[in-house]
Structure 1
Amino acid sequence: MATLLPQRSARLLREPSRHGSLPLFLTPAFSSLRTQCFSTTSPAQSRVGGAAISIPPEVSMSLVDLPKSLFRSRGKDIPKVAVEIQGPRGNMTLSVPSFLNVNHDEAGRKATLSVLDSSVAHQRAMWGTTRALLQNHILGVSEGHICILSLVGVGYRATIETTATTVKPEYEGQKFVSLKVGYSHPIELGIPQGVEASTPQPTRILLESVDKRTVTQFAAKIREWRRPEPYKGKGIFVNGETIKLKAKKIK
């Protein structure tokens, strides 16, 4: 559409219309009309994936070549390299797509990721995603990830139990989160392996783990039993979650 405007203005200046020629007071406006973009800034791609990642002194990172798979599926990327991260809180491994390169600067304690072809949308998307996963793994093995759940409601409370009556343990020594949030039956949830749970207060649940995805998924599973509702403000809130209260429906 923008390319047609100069041609139209030139035609109006060159050819008289059926109603007459272009008025003189509109001539300067049409003569100065030119093709231009809506934004004056130059287009730029996101550089989140290319940002350097700082590695703490107590964390060690190494690249490991993965064995070649015997079965290859069409259209599916097969990782060739994995990143092993070791820290004071545990170890984690991240598989890197084949079109991504991990550059580890041991002297500068930095790690950067590069992609083979930045013009491919899938590679650009996985570029930033892989960098975020690597950053979360480094933070997990050095400091750990936590989720704090707040139980808001009359009589709402939670405890950590070593045994359960409604569910069976999935591994030896598994503990369970017991919730009392207004149901007539007990609610018992098995704590996933690698997650530490505690109740500093009867209405607070503290979850800790080196894997951010595991601890946040378990927090979301607990929250599903009492989602925050907007009329009385009751429910299970995760990490300082807030909700806007609504007025009561009066018929």
Structure 2
Amino acid sequence: MSCLPQRCARQLLREPFQRGSLPLFLTPAFSPSRAQFSTTSPAQSRIGGSAISVPPEVSLTLIDLPKSLTQGRGKDVPKFAAQIKGPKGEMTLNLPSFLTVNHDATTQKATLSVMDPEVPQQRAMWGTARALLQNHITGVSEGHICILSMVGVGYRATIENTATTVSATYPGQKFVSLKVGFSHPIELGIPEGVQASTPQPTRILLESVDKRKVTQFAAEIREWRRPEPYKGKGIFVNGETIKLKAKKIK
């Protein structure tokens, strides 16, 4: 009795390949020396090991976290944190336990290293932690900005001290009021640590030392009028462009 197709396929994969035992049209599929799609060798990112430039006006120090914060059931519990101070403000970044930061004050360079680069989790967090540390250093020294451009007839924005549809979450909070084609204005509370201004009625400038906060708030504003591809109307972030589509003709 002949074997089933699935059983035969598994048997062919387990047994050594014999070119004469297969039909001619199945030979390329089971051949061990198949041609690759690309002839170039795979290149891996080396962003984690690259040095970070620390400006002279920025101070980078490592501090020990309290024991209450280092006790948990997670896979990795941070034991140290990087404290970055600059002319724009101060930020703190919790570092994984397997990560080490070496700061050379003479060369004004900071490098990150992990215990075992062959571990996938450590290698993945190596580049992520390096990018977060770079963002924090840039934030306290220069700051992060997002520029939103409003394209549309009657689209405009203003910064208000009070709002009627939302309530303040912290003392002195201001609000962004949008007029983007709805029958009522859209009011959004500005997150703490983010400064907003309107140099033009159709421009919104967001500034903060925290890149995550400023980009997240810009995304929330953009969500009310995402750019559409037929008339090119909407809220664009940081020079965003879209490709216009042809009009539908019935």
Moved more, 111-120 or 210-219: 111-120
What is the rounded CA distance, in whole Å, between the counterparts of 2:164 and 2:190 in structure 1?
A: 15
Question: How far is the alpha carbon of 1:44 from its aligned partner?
Answer: 5.0
Do the aligned partners of residues 176 and 250 (structure 1) sit closer, same or farther apart at CA in structure 2, a change above 3 Å counting?
same
Equivalent residue number for residue 72 of structure 1:
72
Equivalent residue number for residue 237 of structure 1:
236
Equivalent residue number for residue 138 of structure 1:
137
Q: Which amino acid aligns with 1:171?
A: Y
Do the aligned partners of residues 72 and 35 (structure 1) sit closer, same or farther apart at CA in structure 2, a change above 3 Å counting?
same
What is the rounded CA distance, in whole Å, between the counterparts of 1:54 and 1:196 in structure 2?
A: 26
What is the rounded CA distance, in whole Å, between the counterparts of 1:146 and 1:243 in structure 2?
A: 21
After superposition, the C-alpha distances for 1:78-106 in whole angstroms (9 at most, x for unaligned) are 00110000000000000000111111111
Question: How far is the alpha carbon of 1:122 from its aligned partner?
Answer: 1.2
What is the rounded CA distance, in whole Å, between the counterparts of 1:67 and 1:102 in structure 2?
A: 19
Question: How far is the alpha carbon of 1:41 from its aligned partner?
Answer: 5.7
1:77-156 map, 5 Å:
77-156=76-155
Q: Which amino acid aligns with 1:77?
A: D
Do the aligned partners of residues 37 and 66 (structure 1) sit closer, same or farther apart at CA in structure 2, a change above 3 Å counting?
farther
Question: How far is the alpha carbon of 1:47 from its aligned partner?
Answer: 1.1
What is the rounded CA distance, in whole Å, between the counterparts of 2:146 and 2:96 in structure 1?
A: 29
After superposition, the C-alpha distances for 1:53-111 in whole angstroms (9 at most, x for unaligned) are 000011010000112247431x5210011000000000000000011111111111110
What is the rounded CA distance, in whole Å, between the counterparts of 1:142 and 1:197 in structure 2?
A: 19
SS at match of 1:130: helix
Let me know the Cα RMSD of the aligned residues. Answer: 2.4
Equivalent residue number for residue 55 of structure 2:
56
Question: How far is the alpha carbon of 1:121 from its aligned partner?
Answer: 1.2
Q: Which amino acid aligns with 2:75?
A: K
Equivalent residue number for residue 215 of structure 2:
216
**Conserved? CA contact 2:168–2:189, under 8 Å:** yes
**Conserved? CA contact 2:71–2:77, under 8 Å:** no
Identity percentage of aligned residues? 77
Question: How far is the alpha carbon of 1:144 from its aligned partner?
Answer: 0.2
What is the rounded CA distance, in whole Å, between the counterparts of 1:122 and 1:112 in structure 2?
A: 19
Question: How far is the alpha carbon of 1:42 from its aligned partner?
Answer: 5.6
Which structure would you say has the larger Rg? 1
Q: Which amino acid aligns with 1:169?
A: A
TM-score by length of 2: 0.84
SS at match of 1:127: helix
Count of residue pairs brought into register by the alignment: 227
What is the rounded CA distance, in whole Å, between the counterparts of 1:235 and 1:241 in structure 2?
A: 11
For structure 2, the residue ranges without an aligned partner over 5 or more in a row are: 1-12, 21-31
Question: How far is the alpha carbon of 1:35 from its aligned partner?
Answer: 6.3
What is the rounded CA distance, in whole Å, between the counterparts of 1:36 and 1:49 in structure 2?
A: 34
